Amino acid sequence: MNWPADYHLHTPLCRHAKGEPGEYAARALALGLDEIGFSDHSPMKRDNFDNWRMRFDQLDEYVAKVRQAQKAFPALSIKLGLEVDFLPGHEDWIQDLARRHPWDYFIGSVHYVAESWALDNPEDIRKWAERDPIEVWSVYFERLGLAAESKLFDIIGHADLPKKFGIYPKQDVTPLFERFLQKAARSGVAVELNTAGLRKVCREIYPSRAFLDLAARHKIPITFGSDAHAPEEVGSDFAAALDLARAAGYTETWRFNQRERVKRRL
Ligand code: ZN
Ligand code: FE
Ligand code: FE
Ligand code: ZN
């Protein structure tokens, strides 16, 4: 089987994942993957911003861990990435992070729809009840569009994340998808098929078939990611992700090396 690269893997440095990079790599080899990439949650400028990411002083340790796995698994291509939170106003910080190491790619993810609310945080799920879902989805996709336009990222992470807990607006969200995809098309950023959604209440890959059909029409490149927070999650449901990509008309995926991309047939 010719599997796509799994570009969305975490490490214990983010404080909510388990297993060292070497264990993720061993799992990938056992599954027959030929390329993976680590993309742990990026540090924020302030270490007390939240409690689910590495501290700034752990960034070098993170890179060293990935380098160590590269040395231990020469048969596997292992890329150095980062899942970077996009918040308006954090652009300078993200540029600063980009200059610190020879990254292969940055995944830009929107989790925060307000300065202190990450909409996917189970500890803050009650905040959903205080707002109309369409408001949350709208702010989210507005920010996702800014992330695409910022040119700070190679890949946009879990594009329809607000569906995680199965809370959907009663309104049609197609215009939100469409506005984001127009911006993504102009910027050239890729979108990932993230299989973690299958493990959440929404029971669906991020993004949905409807979103991906529109993305294909806009010729948005795609990558694949399990968003593994444990070694056994590497490559999970990649067969389903491949089926989804093909159903939407995709025949290619992208691979990244030092922030340059090359096409691969699916
Ligand atoms: Zn995480
Ligand atoms: Fe994320
Ligand atoms: Fe992630
Ligand atoms: Zn994620």
Distance CA 162, CA 140 (A): 8
Closest CA to 220 of 246, 179, 190: 190
Residue matched to tokens 């388990």:
18
Q: Residue 76: its pLDDT value, please?
A: 98
Structure tokens at 127: 């905040």
Q: Classify residue 73: in a domain, yes or no.
A: yes
Q: How many domains does the chain have?
A: 1
Q: In which domain, by residue range, is 131 found?
A: 6-265
Give the type of residue at 106.
F
Mean pLDDT of 131-146: 98
Mean pLDDT of 156-170: 98
Residues in the 5 Å CB sphere of ion ligand 3: 83, 227
How far apart are the CA of 263 and the centre of ligand 1, in A? 27
261 within 8 A of 153, measured Cβ to Cβ: no
Mean pLDDT of 147-159: 98
How far apart are the CA of 14 and the centre of ligand 1, in A? 7
- pLDDT tens digits, residue range 95-105? 999 999 999 99
85 within 8 A of 41, measured Cβ to Cβ: yes
Within 8 A by CB and 6+ apart from 125, the residues are 165
Give the type of residue at 109.
S
- Residue 141: pLDDT band with limits 50, 70, 90: very high
Handedness of CA 55, 19, 77, 187 (dihedral sign): negative
**Which bound ligand lies closest to the C-alpha atom of 39?**
3
How far apart are the CA of 41 and the centre of ligand 4, in A? 8
Q: Classify residue 35: in a domain, yes or no.
A: yes
Q: Residue 162: its pLDDT value, please?
A: 98
Q: Classify residue 157: in a domain, yes or no.
A: yes
How far apart are the CA of 259 and the centre of ligand 3, in A? 19
Distance CA 135, CA 113 (A): 10
Q: Classify residue 49: in a domain, yes or no.
A: yes
Q: Classify residue 26: in a domain, yes or no.
A: yes
Share of the chain above pLDDT 70, in %: 100
Q: Residue 136: its pLDDT value, please?
A: 98
Q: Residue 1: its pLDDT value, please?
A: 76
184 within 8 A of 151, measured Cβ to Cβ: no
Mean pLDDT of 126-140: 98
Handedness of CA 125, 181, 248, 222 (dihedral sign): negative
Long-range contacts of 211-214 (CB under 8 A, 24+ apart): 211/159, 211/160, 211/177, 212/244, 212/245, 212/248, 212/250, 213/248, 213/249, 214/174, 214/177, 214/178, 214/181
Distances (CA, A) of 233 to 24, 29, 66, 253: 8, 13, 18, 21
How far apart are the CA of 10 and the centre of ligand 1, in A? 7
Q: Classify residue 96: in a domain, yes or no.
A: yes
Q: Classify residue 1: in a domain, yes or no.
A: no
**Which bound ligand lies closest to the C-alpha atom of 120?**
2
What's the mean pLDDT when you consider all of the chain? 98
**Which bound ligand lies closest to the C-alpha atom of 52?**
1
Type and span of the H or E element at 214: helix 209-217
How far apart are the CA of 171 and the centre of ligand 3, in A? 28
226 within 8 A of 22, measured Cβ to Cβ: no
Please report, for the domain that includes residue 193, its CATH number: 3.20.20.140
- pLDDT tens digits, residue range 45-100? 999 999 999 999 999 999 999 999 999 999 999 999 999 999 999 999 999 999 99
**Which bound ligand lies closest to the C-alpha atom of 118?**
2
- Residue 253: pLDDT band with limits 50, 70, 90: very high
How far apart are the CA of 107 and the centre of ligand 2, in A? 9
Question: Which DSSP state fits 44?
Answer: P
194 within 8 A of 126, measured Cβ to Cβ: no
Q: Residue 231: its pLDDT value, please?
A: 98
Mean pLDDT of 198-212: 98
Q: Classify residue 11: in a domain, yes or no.
A: yes
How far apart are the CA of 83 and the centre of ligand 2, in A? 7
Closest CA to 26 of 78, 73, 84, 74: 73
